[in-house]
Amino acid sequence: MSQPVNRLTGKALRSAQLATAAGNLWEGAVRSGKTIASILRWLEFVRMGPPGPLLMVGKTERTLRRNVLDTMMGMLGPRRMKIVAGTGEVDILGRKIYITGAHNVGAADKIKGMTLVGWYGDEITTWPEDVFDIARTRLSLPGSAWFGTTNPASPVHWLKTKHVDRAALQLTRDGRLLRFDGDDRLDMAVFSFVIGDNPALPADFVRRLMREYTGVFYRRNILGEWVMAEGAIYQAWDEKYNVLPFAKIPQIQAFLSTGADYGTIHPFSAHLIGIGEDIRDEGLALYVTDEYRYDPSLHDGQQKSTTQYADAYLTWLNSTPIPGAAGLVGAAPMVHCVDPSAAYFRTELFNRGVVTRGADNDVNAGISDVASLIANRKIYVSDRCPGLITEIPGYSWDPKAALRGETMPIKAGDDGCDSLRYGVRTPRVAWHDLIYAT
């Protein structure tokens, strides 16, 4: 075994030593050591594996860089690894490796013409199935193999039913090594991790992680279980606790963001989010202080133009009252987080001198952030947000999508919930450590 893999310990080391199949998947809890083990095994393959073209795939190139490439750069340094900007290529240990995103089925077209000796995949459950299938068919050279990671998803997800459940070798969550024979078994090894498999994590950090995930996200990301998403999304929501009269909101230290979900036929919804002292606990909390909402169905179907919405949005921000400061109005949030598909609306705001950001539209990540804040009693919604308050209790997982192995909310009556997660998820770096450090 080469030097990189020998840096590992415990289950991470054992998984890397066993990862000699045509397909090798590390799955389970977040921060459990699975990604580091997979990266070091991949680096060993890059360094010592057969000659030939290599590929690395993530949900997007951005997430691939954040989750994997930046970690590899920290390990190797700029002398042994170079990311060639704008080319879709990275040089690792002297080998050129193609990189691409798998965020839609069109990504399969980028891979179809390739002949590969190896590839690495990040967040595989987030890929379209076609991309995964095409990538596997590209491994036609002698000694070829693929290596990948994922967090669990639905128990009927295609990756679970068609691949994980048919693997010939499995290193289980409790450390047992299972080998299976049979014609229906794939030349594939699956290594299942729980958060306790990473001995380097401090106990207080593990406790904080456990606070951050709730419901289905807790079972998948902390316990490493493949479970169905069903029922109400924000199960911990309690209107008696999470909703405040505007007069009781404390002084806002900073208005972090607005989240805006653009609507034409369906409602346009926007929310203003600030951070301030938690009125019921120590530390800080997020406050959704105000709401702009226009629902054409309540105005005889009369729709507003993009120009009218831009005017209305800015009028709302300039006239919103400031909590704890009687008589003062007007808020200047740090970032305007706008529905990424609303290009014309963003242009209208830009023409008025307002720079916006395309909101982070990772639906499940945004839902997880909001669910965690609700469960930890770290977000309050002002009674000036009646649309959002009405929507949240009925915001539910789509049972039809669950049967397809997908995890998504029902797309109805969700405009306020969308604008909320835009405004929470996009500036996450500004509030996350402040909220969870308390």
DSSP symbols for 310-366: HHHHHHHHHHPBPTTSTT-B----SEEEE-TT-HHHHHHHHHTT--EEE----HHHH
Domains of the chain in start order, with CATH, are 5-197 (3.40.50.300), 239-436 (3.30.420.280)
* CA dist., res. 51 & res. 18, Å (int): 22
Tens of pLDDT, residue by residue over 154-185, are 999 999 999 999 999 999 999 999 999 999 99
pLDDT of residue 438: 53
Asked whether the beta carbons of 256 and 333 are under 8 A apart, the reply is yes
Cα–chain-centroid distance for residue 359? 13
Average pLDDT over residues 116-137: 95
Strand 252-261 to 268-277 pairing? antiparallel
At residue 409, φ and ψ (nearest 5 deg) are -80, 160
pLDDT-derived band at 1 (thresholds 50, 70, 90) equals very low
**pLDDT band at 112, cuts 50/70/90?**
confident
pLDDT at 269: 98
- pLDDT for 4: 52
Give the span between the Cα atoms of 256 and 418, in whole angstroms: 17
What's the confidence (pLDDT) of residue 109?
Answer: 82
Residues with Cβ within 8 Å of residue 403, at least 6 apart in sequence: 156
Q: Are 224 and 173 in contact (CB under 8 A)?
A: yes
pLDDT at 258 over 80: yes
pLDDT for the residue numbered 73: 95
Burial of 363 (0-12, 13-18, 19+ CB in 10 A): middle
Q: What is the pLDDT of residue 198?
A: 92
* pLDDT over 70 at 2, yes or no: no
- Count other Cβ atoms within 10 Å, centred on residue 276: 20
Question: What's the rounded Cα separation, in Å, for the pair 267 and 278?
Answer: 31
Strand duo 118-121 + 145-150: pairing? parallel
H-state helical runs in 59-202: 61-64, 70-76, 107-112, 129-137, 158-162
Over the stretch 220-237, which tens digit does the pLDDT of each residue have? 999 999 999 999 999 999
pLDDT of 107 strictly over 50: yes
Tokens 């023409």 appear where?
A: 351
Q: In this structure, how many other beta carbons lie within 10 angstroms of the beta carbon of residue 317?
A: 21
pLDDT band at residue 264 using 50, 70 and 90 as cut-offs: confident
What pLDDT, on the 0 to 100 scale, is given for residue 83?
86
The mean pLDDT of the chain is 94
Whole-number percent of the chain with pLDDT over 90: 86
User: Rounded to two decimals, what is the model's pTM?
Assistant: 0.87
Contacts of 236 (CB under 8 A, 6+ apart): 214, 371, 374, 375
Q: Once rounded to an integer, what is the mean pLDDT over residues 343-369?
A: 96
Q: How far apart are the two ends of the chain, measured CA to CA in Å? A: 44
The token pair at 12 is 């991470």
Q: Which residues of 252-271 are buried (b: 16+ CB within 10 A; e: fewer)?
A: beebbbbbbbbbeebbbbbb
Q: Are 225 and 32 in contact (CB under 8 A)?
A: no
**Structure tokens belonging to residue 138:** 């590209």
What band does 151 get if pLDDT is binned at 50, 70 and 90? very high
Q: What is the pLDDT of residues 38-55, one digit of tens each?
A: 999 999 999 999 999 999
Q: Categorize the per-residue pLDDT at 3 as very low, low, confident or very high, splitting at 50, 70 and 90.
A: very low
Q: Say yes or no to pLDDT of 300 above 60.
A: yes
**Rg of the chain over CA atoms, in angstroms?**
24
Task: Compute the distance between CA of residue 89 and CA of residue 405 in angstroms, rounded to an integer.
Answer: 32
Nearest by Cα to 173 from 153, 192, 196? 192
Looking at residue 81, its pLDDT comes to 96
pLDDT of 86 strictly over 80: no
Polymer length in residues for the chain: 438
pLDDT of residue 277: 96
